[in-house]
């Protein structure tokens, strides 16, 4: 009986240590997947927020407003849907660029989105 305990005890310690490592690995996986991209769908095209200064980009014309804000972890499949921008946010085309949009997040404050 004593020999059985001698062999079982180290195995139990080893299993307990391995279980602890799995927990921290799965925890980091959850943390790394909790970061989401700010997305906007306009006429089937995906735009991503650039989160930087709009620089010298000039507004061309208003193209619409965000019609629906969805949960941050969802993908916006429908036109004028976003997982980031609030409903009613005005969207503008940019002069001399077909790949950029400006979103007026507050009166006079714009955020740049690119395809």
How confident is the chain (115 residues) per 10-residue block, as mean pLDDT?
53 52 36 70 96 85 98 96 98 96 94 96
Q: Tokens standing for 75?
A: 């993908």
- The residue whose two tokens read 């095209």 is 45
Every domain of the chain and the residues it spans: 1-35, 39-114
Q: 0.85 exceeded by the pTM? A: no
Non-local (6+) Cβ contacts of 44 within 8 A are 79
Q: Tokens standing for 64?
A: 């619409």
Determine phi and psi for 72, rounding to 5 degrees: -60, -30
- Tell me, what's the pLDDT at 105? 94
Alpha-helical segments (H) within the chain: 2-32
- Tell me, what's the pLDDT at 4? 52
- Tell me, what's the pLDDT at 93? 97
Taking the C-alpha atoms of residue 66 and residue 5, their distance in angstroms, rounded to an integer, is 67
- Tell me, what's the pLDDT at 23? 40
- Tell me, what's the pLDDT at 99? 96
Taking the C-alpha atoms of residue 47 and residue 38, their distance in angstroms, rounded to an integer, is 8
Q: What pairs with residue 54 in β-bridges?
A: none
């Amino acid at each position: 009986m004593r020999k059985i305990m001698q062999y079982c005890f180290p195995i139990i310690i080893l299993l307990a240590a391995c279980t602890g490592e799995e927990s921290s690995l799965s925890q980091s996986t959850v943390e790394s997947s909790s970061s989401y991209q700010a997305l906007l769908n306009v006429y089937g095209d995906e735009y991503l927020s650039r989160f930087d200064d709009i620089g010298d980009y000039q507004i061309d014309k208003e193209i619409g407003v965000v019609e629906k804000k969805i949960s941050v972890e969802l993908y916006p499949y429908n036109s004028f849907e976003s997982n980031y921008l609030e409903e009613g946010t005005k969207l503008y085309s940019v002069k001399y660029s077909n790949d950029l949009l400006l979103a007026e997040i507050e009166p006079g404050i714009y955020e740049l989105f690119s395809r």
